[in-house]
Structure 1
């Protein structure tokens, strides 16, 4: 009876878990993500996974063999119990009974050993497959995303991409590494157990199947409510986590405005809301567990009662009854497990659809099928030519960022681009790097249209110091080495010296091995910019783009960096964007832009004499500086 109780409880728990297990596979990173995650999809979406599954056919075959052996071993156990009861305990001769009991127990142990080995082999193989296929999918998705142009990231949130790479692939991992195996195993157990039920007793089989169907229906119906409450609980937890992350990232602001108590109160309210939702889920699941155990146990007890009468009437042996009950438990457990697998598979199908949708996105910026080479690098840098270039950003096609712009930059020339915000200065840099293609016109580097160059060839020829410096979560040495992955430590240090960064790096606790923090939080704005300049100098490109390269520096650092940049400009073409006109006065040529067009061209002195836009900007800035002094 204890064995029966254990099996019944496990069956009930399996059915209960089927309503909630899929929700608890992976906590979503955000409430929105969890709602997306809960979305179910068509199982046909799994066809899209075939390219990832096909390379591991041998492993799937091995898992299949282990699966069949484990299922057959499980189905053999009730038959062994029947033999033990009928031939052992029911034998007329005591010695013969002991002999049979010994043989049956040895056989039972052998079956259990085979079951253990097969189950371990199946678990290891399918778990390996789940991890391997998930890793392949993550690599494929990430490799695909990093090749997308900035246009893709204008309309796609980074958090959305990360959610698909992490949460959605976790759902697929659960299907490949667990659910497929569980589904096949339980299909085999269900079919085998059902056949053996009818072989043992057709009458009792018809009764118990009907009762189990009536038992499972209310459990499944109530289980939907538990699933919804589980998702709500995850939503509330995600909300609290998102709030905590936002506040922790803004602690200086929170403390500056003395909002510590307010934010603690907000977080506390969010946590209490999550607790209340979790308690509703726990109460519902407790009720579901009670209902499942009562209904399943009641069904089995009722059939056991009928079987006991049949044994007493002599129409059934005790061994047949024991075998019947065990097969009934196996069938009930298989039904509950299949219910769980189907719900999980539907959710994973939705995740697969989202991943395949992401993989189907093609970047508008592609390398040509047959790229042209760049001519050998000239001693004095690269030539850059723009011919009648017009461009509008995809997100605002009706607004021209550049209009019919033509520009010819000679090798070794230093050209400064100035103008009010929104004039199109940074857009020029994005077109040079081919982050976007102009709607009309052409851009040529050393006489070769950049659309005919392989993207890596083009971008390897360009070094850029952006206005918003990106510092990676690594040490100073690796951050500078990002400019040229194969550079030696000595070359990195030399680039840092040229960018006036060596001195402050040496003062860091571990020097060049000092971790700079996430987004470079351990550095000042000027220090971050000097790291970026060192990175560009290490790359040593023929074309150097400086986007407000000295905007975050104090006067002393600006003087040092300006001297370093002037030395670095020798032997290369340089294009400078600057609002501070003091940094562009020594340029060979100054281009003044307004509304995406070139409106003035000349040197500092000639443009001041012209009395136009540049002269007004210069008057305002230099007068402001004079007043401050």
Structure 2
């Protein structure tokens, strides 16, 4: 193995990854290359057309020859236009198709990653990678690479024609090539590093904008606009500073190339002009030589310009590769245990868990708990007791460090992940609603559900009445996160979704804690219906839910502190008695 620096290895891996996405479209690549070669050949032929036009058309003063060579020149122009159209179409098509495939591949990977990944990586920054970075890659794959290849062919072809036309003048151009390549190598390395930094800064800007605008009511309620404007200004200026350094390096690169190339052309014109004056070459030959010199010079300058774009694209490809290579720590086992009929029996045995960000702090500490099929078990305890964490572990959003959770006597880590999660219906304190219609949001649990089932679920959740009062009933479009609905209405839609899922185990995460009395009443009625014949785990602070539970598990710092009915725990558990007393007092009228 070669001992390449880490950044070099990452760069080559990113290039290989991009090439892998291009590989399925071999025919389109061939069409693009043929069109590219055709346009390059036609462009180089124009130089000979200019030579003939001057030497055979102007010099002979023959109207017929002039017409003939002008006609040839115009035919070359038409051929160049047709070739350019074909090249542009296929290259652009290829860029759009490849980036669409990369976006889909990245999203398909992200949607299956364990939630812990998104706790350690900002979702809005990932979103920026899927937009800004992909746009940059699309530009390169669909334009810059073709442009670079075309100019490379033009440079090679131009140099060959220069030798054919006049070897002595060509030597002047060849001497300058190392002088041009050197600044490309020197400045290119700097541009690459700065390009990666620039993309990172832009991602941070995008993430901050999304975060602030997503919480705009909180921002304005606390008059936080000036502080957020100041922070955004700092982020933008940081991005601009890096961009300014990158622009400076690229500008210096292009400047050096232009000076070297056009300086060589100037010297060549002087030497060639002397040869024309002394009769050693014709005017047409010098004109053709100048044409090819300009072709070669502009090709070298263009390549040096494209190098900067390629450097930026490499950084974007590396960042995309990081997402694609992010390991998914929660997956179905290779050898899955078949899922038996689900009654809702759950056993938790000596369960220990610590979040990756706090590996030394056990959120769940040697927890053992048996939940009977069809039982309603309430989980109570102070904040940080591990109640919501237990739900995460049941759904395998995380895996425990030791111990196990068994569903129907089978360790859940031995089950197919999708089959496991189909056993649960989750109703959280802040229900997740998506942009789309009300029908789409209820049907989220079962996309193929007929309209009759959707309506039946809404009725069971006491949501049908308010839905019918909306402008377009079930086809009413919701804003982001259900914007436009009250808390109780959102909660009932989430319950309707859970009804439609028809899962044997129900997880209720403080589903009524943030509601007013009237909304709580309707939500509680819906939950009561939903809990029938289902194993239900309830995280609740409201006594109505706790007192009606079959059993109550009192958690404290991840441990099971007490287990029993409300009456039993009031006598046996100081912690529960204390929590219950506080809740009773909080519900007393003022």
Smaller-chain TM-score range? 0.7 to 0.9
Partner of 1:426: 388
For the residue of structure 2 that corresponds to 1:188, the secondary structure is helix
Partner of 1:358: 323
Alpha carbons of structure 1 residues 374 and 342: separation in structure 2 relative to 1, 3 Å: same
Partner of 2:3: none
- d(CA) in 2 for partners of 1:238, 1:442: 39
Alpha carbons of structure 1 residues 218 and 393: separation in structure 2 relative to 1, 3 Å: closer
Normalised TM-score (structure 2):
0.88
Matched, 1:464 2:426: yes
Task: Deviation per CA, 1:411-433: give whole Å up to 9, x if none.
Answer: 21111111111111111111111
Alignment length (residue pairs): 584
Alpha carbons of structure 1 residues 512 and 296: separation in structure 2 relative to 1, 3 Å: same
Matched, 1:343 2:312: no
- d(CA) in 1 for partners of 2:142, 2:348: 54
Contact 1:43–1:346 (Cα < 8 Å) also in 2: no
What is the CA RMSD across the aligned residues, in angstroms?
A: 3.6
Partner of 2:28: 59
**Deviation (angstroms), 1:253:** 4.6
- d(CA) in 2 for partners of 1:131, 1:44: 21
Matched, 1:322 2:291: no
For the residue of structure 2 that corresponds to 1:482, the secondary structure is helix
Partner of 1:481: 443
**Deviation (angstroms), 1:291:** 8.8
Matched, 1:537 2:537: no
Partner of 1:620: 582
Alpha carbons of structure 1 residues 295 and 353: separation in structure 2 relative to 1, 3 Å: closer
For the residue of structure 1 that corresponds to 2:491, the secondary structure is helix
Contact 1:392–1:401 (Cα < 8 Å) also in 2: yes
- d(CA) in 2 for partners of 1:188, 1:461: 61
Matched, 1:74 2:43: yes
268-277 or 448-457: which moved more?
268-277
Partner of 1:137: 102
Task: Deviation per CA, 1:166-214: give whole Å up to 9, x if none.
Answer: 2333333233222322222112111110111122112222224445766
**Deviation (angstroms), 1:407:** 1.8
Contact 1:467–1:547 (Cα < 8 Å) also in 2: yes
Matched, 1:83 2:52: yes
Matched, 1:368 2:368: no
- d(CA) in 2 for partners of 1:347, 1:273: 18
Contact 2:192–2:315 (Cα < 8 Å) also in 1: no
**Deviation (angstroms), 1:242:** 7.0
Task: Deviation per CA, 1:396-443: give whole Å up to 9, x if none.
Answer: 221112222222222211111111111111111111111122222222
Task: Deviation per CA, 1:126-175: give whole Å up to 9, x if none.
Answer: 21111111111111111111111122223222133223322333333233
The 5 Å alignment of 1:22-421 reads: 42-43=11-12, 45-91=14-60, 97-210=62-175, 248-253=213-218, 255-256=220-221, 299-377=264-342, 381-421=343-383
Alpha carbons of structure 1 residues 327 and 515: separation in structure 2 relative to 1, 3 Å: same
- d(CA) in 2 for partners of 1:390, 1:269: 43
Partner of 1:450: 412
Alpha carbons of structure 1 residues 70 and 88: separation in structure 2 relative to 1, 3 Å: same
- d(CA) in 2 for partners of 1:218, 1:402: 59
- d(CA) in 1 for partners of 2:359, 2:67: 85
Partner of 1:27: none
Task: Deviation per CA, 1:480-508: give whole Å up to 9, x if none.
Answer: 11121112223222222222223333333
**Deviation (angstroms), 1:296:** 5.8
- d(CA) in 1 for partners of 2:147, 2:208: 38
Alpha carbons of structure 1 residues 137 and 597: separation in structure 2 relative to 1, 3 Å: same
Matched, 1:564 2:529: no
Alpha carbons of structure 1 residues 478 and 118: separation in structure 2 relative to 1, 3 Å: same
- d(CA) in 2 for partners of 1:44, 1:184: 21
- d(CA) in 2 for partners of 1:271, 1:42: 27
**Deviation (angstroms), 1:220:** 9.4
Alpha carbons of structure 1 residues 621 and 452: separation in structure 2 relative to 1, 3 Å: same
Contact 1:412–1:573 (Cα < 8 Å) also in 2: yes
Q: Which runs of 5+ in 1 are unaligned?
A: 1-37
**Deviation (angstroms), 1:249:** 4.7
Partner of 2:477: 515
- d(CA) in 2 for partners of 1:417, 1:451: 23
Task: Deviation per CA, 1:88-141: give whole Å up to 9, x if none.
Answer: 1222xx5xx222222212222222222222222122112111111111111111
Task: Deviation per CA, 1:437-484: give whole Å up to 9, x if none.
Answer: 222222222232211211111111110012232121222221111121
Contact 2:91–2:143 (Cα < 8 Å) also in 1: yes
Alignment equivalent of 1:576, drawn from 515, 538, 555: 538
**Deviation (angstroms), 1:48:** 2.7
127-136 or 615-624: which moved more?
615-624
For the residue of structure 2 that corresponds to 1:369, the secondary structure is coil
- d(CA) in 1 for partners of 2:237, 2:318: 35
Contact 2:219–2:225 (Cα < 8 Å) also in 1: yes
Normalised TM-score (structure 1):
0.83
The higher relative CO (CA closer than 8 Å, separation ≥ 6) is in: 1
278-287 or 64-73: which moved more?
278-287
Q: Which runs of 5+ in 2 are unaligned?
A: 1-6
- d(CA) in 2 for partners of 1:84, 1:579: 92
**Deviation (angstroms), 1:353:** 2.6
Contact 2:195–2:311 (Cα < 8 Å) also in 1: no
**Deviation (angstroms), 1:568:** 1.6
